Amino acid sequence: MVVACGSGGDDGAAGGDADAELLGITRPEPLQVGDVTVPDRTTGGEGGDFTMRAAPGELLVVYFGYTSCPDICPTTLADLRTAFEQVGPDAEQVDVAMVTVDPERDTGPKLSNYLSSFFTRFHALREPDLDRIPEIEEPFGASSQVVHQDDGRVEVAHSAITYVVDDTGEVLVEWPFGTEPDAMADDLAVLLARQSP
């Protein structure tokens, strides 16, 4: 699902059941994204390339978007923040990585500042080579397009899926745009319970 930006459950998830069904999209053959690397431009970070795998025993939430998005991106990230709040202290085991699809306008500091308004733990990922962005998106089944209009406007369309990745680089569940925070929280609690020894 690709969306053009700008043109128009229960009480929580604490104590997830590892055997419960996930509410998001799961695939019979899960996506494998553990070989995907993107330059990490998080302010105050170590730099270098970030690999799309969670830390051992944790989860990584991956999203493709851009800071100038007026609706889809901030709504998704706010919903994710709400889900983390519902999960509670266990959400500290969940990392966030956002790949900008608009690197010409999204610098590392701009993306870092944007993400810091939603999360305390995140990776601001920016690939400056526009030709490489489709290579990064392809393993996720994601896509984006940036069009510069003659009047100076920049129009961006991008897929609106959020991905939860484990420490092997396997996508465990996918949330389309509009997935409620309660459902995200439930899925995170279940997946965190599955990560426990």
Residue pLDDT, tens place only, 112-143: 999 999 999 999 999 999 999 999 999 999 99
pLDDT at position 8, please? 36
pTM across the whole model: 0.89
Among the listed residues 68, 52, 197, the one whose alpha carbon sits nearest the alpha carbon of residue 135: 52
- Binning pLDDT at 50, 70 and 90, where does residue 153 land? confident
Surface-to-core class of residue 144, CB atoms within 10 Å of its CB (0-12 exposed, 13-18 middle, 19+ buried): buried
H/E segment holding residue 195:
helix 181-195
Q: What domains does the chain contain, in order, with CATH numbers?
A: 31-141+161-195 (3.40.30.10)
Q: Is the distance from CB of 172 to CB of 27 less than 8 angstroms?
A: no
pLDDT in tens, 33-92: 999 999 999 988 777 999 999 999 999 999 999 999 999 999 999 999 999 999 999 999
The residue to which tokens 């500091």 are assigned:
109
For the chain, strand residue ranges (E) read 2-4, 37-39, 49-51, 59-65, 94-100, 123-125, 144-148, 154-159, 161-165, 171-176
DSSP 114: H
pLDDT at position 5, please? 52
d(CA 161, CA 179): 9
